[in-house]
Copies of this chain bind each other. A is one copy, B any other.
Amino acid sequence: MAKELKNLTKRSDNYSQWYNELVVKADLAEQSAVRGCMVIKPYGYAIWEKMQRNLDDMFKETGHVNAYFPLLIPKSFLSREAEHVEGFAKECAVVTHYRLKNAPDGSGVVVDPAAKLEEELIIRPTSETIIWNTYKNWIQSYRDLPILCNQWANVFRWEMRTRLFLRTAEFLWQEGHTAHATREEAEEEALRMLHVYGEFAEKYMAVPVVKGIKSANERFAGALETYTIEAMMQDGKALQSGTSHFLGQNFAKAFDVQFVNKNNEMEYVWATSWGVSTRLMGALIMTHSDDNGLVLPPKLAPIQVVIIPIYKNEEQLEQINEKVDGIVKNLKALGISVKYDNADNKRPGFKFADYELKGVPVRLVMGGRDLENNTVEVMRRDTLEKSTVSCDNIEMYVKELLDEIQENIFRKALNYRDSRTISVDTYEEFKEKIEEGGFILAHWDGTPETEEKIKEETKATIRCIPLDRDKTPGKCMVTGKDSVCRVVFARSY
């Protein structure tokens, strides 16, 4: 096998470097000329498109519609909601001018000082402010509610340390922004979308997640409650993969959005917002992939099956082509995306390594002996196991195999997470165990101060208070004060 194609660092040698290399070598994304901004390459974008399509269907099934709001936000909007400005002002890209002109010395273009904006505009780091300013005009009465809008958009946060997909200055995401007549309805909505995210992560990405509530320290700037899905990567670190916020009436108050309720009284509107981003690509890559490259869940793989011929001469190739044409047709009829790669400018070994690197779930190889025996060699990417299978009804075999791979990689990731999730009762043991990575279930007294102390001393944060938590009370491992349940600690991305 053409291992030289990959030359991929092993996970055990340097997990971080393995990830960085894999993203580039598998043609998913690369750094651009603009600091912190990535180029999402066609193969990476094809995976993102599949994520988008499936999520979008799930949003629509739960009654949401798409809309589009402006990229730029007046600077003053950001400071309307006190906590929100604290959370986002530090990382904003600011537009101050609207025109360039030729440099007097002919060296290029310079900013035209005459074209200075009266009020600066910021590139949206998130859109609560501009959207609630818009909703003000859409909502007069309870009959105008609920509003269940989502937008697919780019956002920008000036991050100092960036990594492809995991933390980039510009990223792609969806942001849902809903408006409700009652507190209960908004709280239900925030939870509903958390479950949509959880289902998407587990059913499509095959990434098991812990659903839970963020502590006050980790809450979204402006939210009363932040729900999260947390996944575990193969280095034992947590990756926050999606959040859903119950915003209370904070943004309605900041933008004066009131409505006449059923009792004919004026009331502020209740809000939620929720989002997932291209960060999910990072979660997908780091959960399943191995030292040979990507491992993609069949439901999100741009190419689910690749077929490669091995032949001695043109005549044999023609026979294989003919046989494979029928298989391709039957696979496509089952809705399976298949690529037949009979390009003659690359050796089979090179192709094998390349499709392994790209994580194609199933590989079929047909050679001369297969022709004679009416068979094909099947390799599954998740286990790298090969078997020789009859061509009769091969399409149903492949279809079932794809389902089996989808389930297997989820099971594998779940077993891995469970094997690295432990309960700890003393802070001493916590400090020792956290060095090994993984999720630690421990008691905490519920105060931001204790959480902050733990973070400073161990770099671990509370990932969430799980929805399905063990509610046996105990004593905080740090302060010994009462604790109502165990929460999930981990180091994180």
Give me the interface of A with B, judged by CB distance under 8 Å: 30, 32-34, 37-42, 45-46, 48-49, 65-79, 85, 89-102, 108-109, 111, 120-123, 130, 133-134, 137, 143, 149, 153-154, 156, 158, 170, 172, 345
Contact = CB atoms under 8 A, between A and B. Distances in A.
Given A40-B67, A45-B66, A345-B143, A72 B93 contact: yes
Contacts of A123: 71, 95, 123
A92 B109 CA distance: 11
Contacts of A98: 91-94, 158
A106 B39 CA distance: 39
A100 B72 contact: no
18 contacts: A32-B70, A34-B74, A37-B70, A37-B71, A39-B70, A42-B67, A42-B149, A45-B65, A71-B170, A75-B109, A79-B108, A89-B99, A89-B101, A92-B99, A94-B95, A95-B123, A96-B111, A100-B122
A66 B46 contact: yes
B133 A77 contact: no
Nearest to A33: B133
A261 to B, nearest CB: 16
Interface of A is mostly: mixed
Given A42-B65, A94-B97, A74 B33 contact: yes
A32 B109 contact: no
A280 to B, nearest CB: 15
A170 B70 CA distance: 7
B32 A130 contact: yes
A99 B95 contact: no
B100 A97 contact: no
Contacts of A78: 100, 109
Contacts of A71: 37, 123, 154, 156, 170
Nearest to A64: B42
A137 to B, nearest CB: 8
B39 A134 contact: yes
A100 B90 contact: yes
Given A33-B70, A38-B70, 12 more contacts: A32-B70, A34-B70, A40-B67, A45-B66, A48-B68, A71-B123, A78-B100, A79-B108, A89-B99, A92-B98, A94-B100, A100-B122
B143 A72 contact: no
A236 B112 CA distance: 38
A94 B112 CA distance: 10
A211 B2 CA distance: 49
B68 A40 contact: yes
Nearest to A91: B99
Most chain B beta carbons < 10 A, residue from A42, A48, A78: A42
A426 B97 CA distance: 47
Contacts of A111: 75, 94, 96, 120
A72 B134 contact: no
Most chain B beta carbons < 10 A, residue from A34, A153, A172: A34
Contacts of A32: 69-70, 130, 134
A387 B130 CA distance: 46
B41 A67 contact: yes
Contacts of A30: 134, 137
A96 B345 CA distance: 48
A101 to B, nearest CB: 7
Nearest to A68: B40
A23 to B, nearest CB: 14
A89 B79 contact: no
A227 B74 CA distance: 38
B99 A90 contact: yes
Most chain B beta carbons < 10 A, residue from A67, A70, A73, A77: A70
A63 to B, nearest CB: 12
A49 to B, nearest CB: 6
Contacts of A108: 75-76, 79, 85
B170 A72 contact: yes
Given A39-B134, A123-B95, A77 B33 contact: yes
A100 B37 CA distance: 20
Contacts of A68: 39-40, 45, 48, 172
A436 B153 CA distance: 42
9 nearest interchain CB pairs?
Answer: A37-B70, A42-B65, A79-B108, A40-B68, A89-B100, A94-B97, A98-B158, A96-B96, A32-B70
